[in-house]
Amino acid sequence: MSQIEQIEMDHHRAQLLGDVRQLVEKYRTIFDWDIPDVDQKAADHEIVEGLRAALVDVAQELTQLAPRQKL
């Protein structure tokens, strides 16, 4: 990443973290609704692993896009 992109990312890092936390909470709520007596630790692990897998997929898709092309 070039210096200007790194600076831009630094400006948005807190917002990105907040967005990811909201996404985790969204799926924690879904697990709570769908699974009576959910094992929260196991659910949290599955949610985080799902997010990691999704990020890998998105990163792979981005490498195949032309500049400025949307997903």
Asked if 65 and 50 count as a contact pair (C-beta separation under 8 A), the reply is: no
Total number of domains in the chain: 1
High-pLDDT (> 70) share of the chain, %: 99
pLDDT in tens, 38-56: 999 999 999 999 999 999 9
Question: Where in the sequence is the domain holding 16, given as residue range(s)?
Answer: 3-64
Asked if 38 and 28 count as a contact pair (C-beta separation under 8 A), the reply is: no
CB atoms within 10 A of CB 43: 17
Specify if 70 maps to a domain. Answer: no
Specify if 22 maps to a domain. Answer: yes
Specify if 48 maps to a domain. Answer: yes
Specify if 57 maps to a domain. Answer: yes
Specify if 71 maps to a domain. Answer: no
